[in-house]
Chain A
Amino acid sequence: MPGSDSAVMERKPWVAEATKDARLEIKDLNVYFGEGADRFQAVKNVSVKVQQGGSFGIVGESGSGKSTVLRAVCGLVESWDGEIDIDGAPVSHKRDKAFARKIQMVFQDPYASLHPRHTVDRVLSEPLKLHGFDDVDGRVLRALDDVGLGADFRFRYPHQLSGGQRQRVAVARALMLEPEILLLDEPTSALDVSVQAEILNLFADLRKEHNLTYVMVTHDLAVVAHMCDEIAVMQHGEVVEVMDVEAMRSSTPETAYTQELLKASMGYDAEFFGDS
């Protein structure tokens, strides 16, 4: 595809352009862990922009800081500076209750993200009660229906569910407060391939139905290519490249690192990797 090259060129530099329809915008985000001599900068000067209704992917290997960006956005990490704007308004370090109705997150490991002693019913009704929603029963049943589980699952405990079913519950939980932005932190990497397909399809359906904006973090380029329109590649805490999905499909990324990543996710190639 000859045209995609220029598309990439146009996108650069990925410093924010002043557009109105950005749902989430991150400007010069730095995240630090530890104090004093142990202080470690996990994220360096990250700036990305996610369009309303868009699906933005962040790929990178472990330690690249990709998950940390998500955690700073949703408020689980407080030691950051820079700017995070939602619908044009900057968010503070301490988040209030109303913030919870804007952004929710789906975690990586469905075995660790559900409370082992709470039934599905409790997991789903808790956010509703916290925020004083009415019609709790109806909403719980509709949410179960939405994620393809049905009322049968309502009073089960997590240990009575399979990995895929647990992840569906986690997705339902994230949707209970009707957020506009969903942060997905490696949501399928702990699942089998066939289950991953079901969950990815579910994400696609929900995005259409609820008009959601996704930010997805993953190490799997195939998943990101399937799910996202725009992709940022991170390495050592920095964004090394932002490209759109066409550039990725046509294997025309700019940096050597991205090319290596792409090659690696296509499968083993003795000639390419053998003589390193």
Chain B
Amino acid sequence: MSDTLLSVEDLWVRFPTRSGTVDAVRGISFSVGRERVGIVGESGSGKSMTGRSILRLIRSPGQMEAKSIMFNGENLLDYSERQMRKIRGHQISMVMQDPKFSLNPVHTVGKQICEALRLHTKASRREARQGALEMLEAVQIRNPERVFDSYPHELSGGMGQRVMIAMMLITDPKLLIADEPTSALDVTVQMKVLAIMDKLVQERGMGLIFISHDLNLVSSFCDRIIIMYAGRIVETCKASELHNATHPYTRGLLNALPRIEEPKGRLEALQRQDSWKQEASVDARV
């Protein structure tokens, strides 16, 4: 894990509203190597904003600020919008929750994957098609030729998400940001899609940022966990050490989960404390 891919220092995301500025992310620092990092938090914790701000995809009126976002030794904050476009999808890819909103409904899946490839490489039409078919096979689509020629609405949720992953990985990015990539899927499908993503990320030696609300899932899928609350990192630990977590928020989340194997009469309700919002963010860089 010595070779750090991405290092973010003191990231803020702010939204001006009628009643003053709202800080969605408040000065967090973290790093990602060639590993699977999970960012966990409840709604409003700023986890999605964190993912988007790495690619500088915060929509107006939101504003982002950071000391530095170092990727491959270069500060992404110094990049122009034009340079950023080359980074997005080529060096850093992002998979969103619902493939229905990320795929263009009027083009075939194959065309969109080829386009993604041709946008960033000099592949010829034939090479692009070949590459796309191989990629579809890599995400374990049984009949790649057929899927290649189908439109997004003809695919099931799990299939759509596999296509998204294929599209995002075909350019061979170094870092993949997956924002709730499987939350819209059924549990059994979810696991299959995760397994595919896991395998590809491992094989290619990529870094993965896995953003999710599901503590259980993240702890079993990732190497390292970052727990966010109200825009701050409250705790970070190895996934295998999660049960030893000390922060009351993390403990509260763990205790609030019903578990199949250990029945509880009552679930422990989380008692939120205002101090959690005030504490300094934990530095999650390694």
Contact = CB atoms under 8 A, between A and B. Distances in A.
Interface of A: 61-62, 163, 192-194, 196-198, 200-201, 204, 219, 221-223, 225-227, 245, 248-249, 251, 260-270, 272-274, 276
B219 interface: yes
A184 to B, nearest CB: 14
A197 B187 contact: no
B188 to A, nearest CB: 5
Given A219-B187, A268-B194, A197 B261 contact: no
28 contacts: A61-B187, A61-B188, A163-B43, A192-B43, A193-B42, A197-B256, A197-B258, A197-B269, A198-B267, A201-B266, A221-B260, A222-B258, A222-B260, A223-B258, A225-B263, A226-B267, A249-B261, A260-B188, A261-B187, A264-B190, A267-B217, A268-B191, A268-B221, A269-B220, A273-B191, A273-B192, A276-B192, A276-B195
Interface string B204-223: 00000000010111011100
B191 A201 contact: no
**Chain A at the B interface: mostly helix, strand, loop or mixed?**
helix
Interface string B196-239: 00110000000000000101110111000000000000000000
B259 interface: yes
B22 interface: no
A194 B191 contact: no
A219 B186 CA distance: 8
A192 B190 CA distance: 19
Contacts of B188: 61, 260-261, 264
Contacts of A62: 157, 186
A225 B258 contact: yes
A267 B190 CA distance: 10
A261 B191 CA distance: 10
A226 B256 contact: no
A268 B220 contact: yes
A70 B230 CA distance: 37
Contacts of B269: 194, 197-198, 201
A149 to B, nearest CB: 15
B119 interface: no
Nearest to A204: B266
Contacts of A204: 266
